[in-house]
Amino acid sequence: MKRHSIGLLPGDGIGREVVPAARRVLEQVAATHHVPLSFEEYDWGSDYYFQHGVMMPMDALDRLRTHDAILLGAVGHPHVPDHITLNGMLLPIRRAFDLYANVRPAYLYEGVASPLSGYEPGSIDMVVVRENTEGEYANIGGYLYHHLPSEVAVQTSVFTRAGCERIIRFAFDLARRRDRKRRVASITKSNAQGYGMVLWDRVFREVAADYPDITTESLLVDAAAMNFVRRPASFDVVVASNLFGDILSDLSAIVTGSIGLAPSANLDPRRLAPSLFEPVHGSAPDIAGKGLANPLGTILAAAMLRDHLGATSAAAAVEFAVRQVLAAGSTLTADVGGTASTADVTGAVLAALDEGNE
């Protein structure tokens, strides 16, 4: 198999702990499954910002474009406004590479307790498909009378027919590929957002007509939030706008135990640019540097990366090793009820991979 080149962006906070952990897992599985990888690590993020006044250098996108895929840790620093860090690093990559499908699976693994009672392992198994390049994240707007008492801020959402159609089609195709409940739920707030989200709802109905084998429902985001808690097992694929998908995927992560377990793929389904893989969680400055972060969300994101690059058995081996560590229950970080460190959990995944290879 071709040697794939991976760009590593640990970024900020616990990103610097979980990306090295996932790299070790990728290296081990590359060796045992004969799917060679090379890595190039970039020290971009908030520390780079303190030195250079920008989160990434001018040629960052050109350099990242040379890779087959990117693994990112987290962005966010307590001493830099969040809109600077996010708009300086993660969002420009998503936009420049047109990574329009943000795929965020949530699965209740054996050995992990949901905060909701009565759910068996595997009973919650959903994927939030988040539109990733437009919507509420379009970053269009401005200030009038900036910093004056009469200040006005305008922030515009952008919904294009093409943007809605491609992400909704992606969600239907995913429901077919997953072949589980064959359901797609579309989330908007079109009673209050009477243009962009009305367009989204209309496109959803049009696309749904091409997929008669898939059951659909259309929910307002407030009802969706309630139903993620009330009937999480009923969901399969959930397609939502950029902001709603971001919020709901924190909810799907927590009902399946911890945001520390949640992986995410930012995909260019046409494969013209490298796709980017990351944990759903942020930089967690409260625990950064203490060796306490759960590396499993990033390790599962690394498995999605391997799968995307065609190394399906290597990806399955990583996911299986994670399942074994969780089911064993003896080496878990605090967010999932244990006392183990990032290094301990990474070691347990490496050992499970070793065993699986014997």
Buried b (16+ CB within 10 A) or exposed e, 246-267: bbbbbbbbbbbbbbbbbbbbbb
Whichever of 247 and 351 has its CB closer to ligand GGG, that residue is 247
Name the strand (E) or helix (H) holding 323. Answer: helix 312-328
Q: What is the CA radius of gyration of the chain?
A: 20
Q: How far apart are CA 80 and CA 282, in angstroms?
A: 14
Active-site residue (options: 12, 42, 49, 189): 189
* Shortest separation between residue 45's beta carbon and ligand GGG, angstroms: 10
* Shortest separation between residue 204's beta carbon and ligand GGG, angstroms: 22
| Per-residue contact string for residues 55-74; x = within reach of ligand GGG by CB under 6 A | -----------------x-x
Whichever of 71 and 353 has its CB closer to ligand GGG, that residue is 71
Q: Is 86 in the site for ligand GGG (CB under 6 A)?
A: yes
Closest CA to 275 of 252, 239, 307, 247: 307
Pick out residues in 323-342 that bind ligand GGG (CB under 6 A).
Answer: none
Q: Is 101 in the site for ligand GGG (CB under 6 A)?
A: no
Dihedral sign for Cα 9, 5, 265, 328, please. Answer: negative
Q: Is 246 in the site for ligand GGG (CB under 6 A)?
A: yes
The residue written with tokens 């993660």 in the block is 90
Whichever of 64 and 75 has its CB closer to ligand GGG, that residue is 75
Whichever of 74 and 315 has its CB closer to ligand GGG, that residue is 74
Sole binder of ligand GGG in the list 279, 309, 345, 348 (CB under 6 A): 279
Query: Sheet containing 237-240: which strands, arranged edge to edge?
Result: 37-41, 4-11, 69-74, 275-279, 263-267, 101-107, 125-131, 237-240, 183-188, 215-220
Sole binder of ligand GGG in the list 28, 114, 157, 283 (CB under 6 A): 283
181 in catalytic set: no
Q: Is 245 in the site for ligand GGG (CB under 6 A)?
A: no
Six token digits for residue 8:
């590593």
Q: How far apart are CA 340 and CA 93, in angstroms?
A: 33
* Shortest separation between residue 13's beta carbon and ligand GGG, angstroms: 8
Task: Specify the pairing of strand 101-107 against strand 263-267.
Answer: antiparallel
Whichever of 43 and 151 has its CB closer to ligand GGG, that residue is 43
How far is CA 308 from each of CA 93, 171, 274, 287, rounded to the nearest angstrom? 18, 16, 10, 31
Sole binder of ligand GGG in the list 136, 278, 307, 335 (CB under 6 A): 278
Instruction: Please answer whether residues 88 and 55 qualify as being in contact, where contact means their C-beta atoms are separated by less than 8 angstroms.
Output: yes
189 in catalytic set: yes
Active-site residue (options: 62, 222, 286, 354): 222
Pick out residues in 170-229 that bind ligand GGG (CB under 6 A).
Answer: none
* Shortest separation between residue 283's beta carbon and ligand GGG, angstroms: 6
Closest CA to 23 of 84, 88, 72: 72
How far is CA 352 from each of CA 158, 162, 290, 332, 341, rounded to the nearest angstrom? 46, 44, 24, 14, 17
Sole binder of ligand GGG in the list 30, 71, 75, 322 (CB under 6 A): 75
- Size of the residue set binding ligand GGG (CB under 6 A): 11
* Shortest separation between residue 142's beta carbon and ligand GGG, angstroms: 21
CA angle 190, 191, 196 (to 5 degrees): 30
Q: Judged by CB under 6 A, which stretch of 146-154, 213-221, 228-236, 273-281 contacts ligand GGG?
A: 273-281
Q: Is 268 in the site for ligand GGG (CB under 6 A)?
A: no
Instruction: Give residues in contact with ligand GGG (CB under 6 A).
Output: 72, 74-76, 86, 246, 278-279, 281-283
Active site amino acids: 145, 189, 222, 246, 250
